[in-house]
Amino acid sequence: MNFASQIADPRDILLKITATTVYGSDLHLYNNTMLDMHDGDILGHEFMGIIEQIGDQVKNLKIGQRVVVAFNIDLCKREEYSVCGVPGGQAEYVRVPFADINCLPTPDDIPDNKALYLSDIIPTVYHGCEIGNVKENSTVAIWALGPIGLIEARCCIESINFQEFDTTKKLLEMIPGGVDCSLEAVSFDYTKSLLHKVERFLNLETDAGDILTEMITCTRKAGTISIIGVYNNSVNHFPIGPMMEKHLTITGGQSYTQKHWRFCLEKIRSGEMDPNFVISHNLTLN
C-alpha cells in the first residue's frame, strides 16, 4: 500500500500502530459529555508503534524504530507541551507531526504493555505531583479512581470509600487542619450532590464542582491543589472565599509529557514503576 501522501510535512513520520488504549478523554468524547466529536474523527489518546516512513527533515528517528507518541502533539521550545486533540491512534496507521519532538524511541527491553503508558498516564502522574508541590514527608490526598489516580495511590497509606464515608469529614478526622497537597484526577462529569446533578441536567453548568469543593475544604492553609482531570467550561457554587482566605495555591493543566517521559522511562526500566496493574482487558486493533 502506498502511504506517500501521508507525509504532509517533511517533519512527519508515518507510524504503524502496535498498541493503543481507550482512555478517559476518549470517553468524554464518545459519551458526548464534551461536545467536540465530528463525523470521521478518530479516537485514541495513547498509542505507540513502528516507524514506516519518515519525512526528509526528521533527524533523530529512523524507519523500523519503535516509538511511543505523546498524547499532546506539540512543538514548544519552552517545554510547555499542553495541546491535545484528535485524530488519534485507534487506527492501523497514524501520521505524527513534529516527530522528533513528539516521539520517544523505546528500548527493546520494555514491552508495549509498559512503554505505551509513557504516552500519557505515567508522565501525567509525575506532572500532577510536580505541580502539586509533593515533596518528601508531604501529606497528600488524591481524588481519583482511574489509572492516574491508582498509580498515584500506590504509595498511599489509607483510602476513603466515598460511598461509605463523608470524604471531607473523614479526611479531616485523619489529618486535622488538612493535607499539604491535594491531587485531582477525576474530571468534570462526576457529580456527588443533588444540586450539581440537577444544574448539570438543566444545562445551568457544564462541570460538577463537588470534588473541587472537597479539596479546598480538606487542604491546609497555604497548601497546594493540583488539578489534572479534564474540565470543560464553568462550575457553579465555587468556594472562592475559602480558597482565598486559606491562601491556597491552585494549579492545573495537562501533562508536559515530552518534558517528563525520559525520566519516567528510566523509572520503568529500573522497576520502580510498573503500570501493568491498570490493564483490565487486552483486545485486538480490529
pLDDT per residue as tens digits for the range 148-186: 888 888 867 788 888 899 999 999 999 999 999 999 999
The Cα 198–Cα 153 span in angstroms is 31
Read off the pLDDT of each residue in 237-257 and give the average, rounded to a whole number.
Answer: 94
Specify the 3-state DSSP secondary structure of 64.
coil
> Which residue's entry shows cell 470509600?
161
The Cα 245–Cα 247 span in angstroms is 5
**Mean pLDDT over all residues of the chain?**
87
Q: CA nearest 138: which of 176, 181, 182, 185?
A: 181
Least confident interval from 53-67, 83-97, 235-249, 270-284: 83-97
As beta bridge partners, residue 143 has 184
84-130: per-residue pLDDT in tens?
Answer: 454 577 888 988 988 999 999 999 999 999 999 999 999 999 999 99
Residue 101 CB contacts under 8 Å (≥ 6 apart), including other chains:
74, 75, 76, 258
**Model confidence at 265: pLDDT above 60:** yes
Q: What is the pTM of this model?
A: 0.86
Distance, C-alpha 194 to centroid of its chain? 28
**Model confidence at 276: pLDDT above 60:** yes
Distance, C-alpha 162 to centroid of its chain? 22
* SS3 letters across 115-182: HHHHHCHHHHHHHHHHHCCCCCCCCEEEECCCHHHHHHHHHCCCCCCCCCCCHHHHHHHHCCCCEEEE
Rounded to 10°, the helix 257-270/121-131 angle is: 110
Q: CA nearest 159: which of 142, 177, 138?
A: 142
Per-residue confidence (pLDDT) for residue 87, from 0 to 100: 59
Q: How confident is the model at residue 76 (pLDDT cuts 50, 70, 90)?
A: low
Q: How confident is the model at residue 78 (pLDDT cuts 50, 70, 90)?
A: low
> Which residue's entry shows cell 487542619?
177
Q: Contact, 218 vs 141, CB < 8 A?
A: yes
**Model confidence at 202: pLDDT above 70:** yes
Q: CA geometry: angle at 154 spanning 153 and 159, to 5°?
A: 50
Per-residue confidence (pLDDT) for residue 118, from 0 to 100: 94
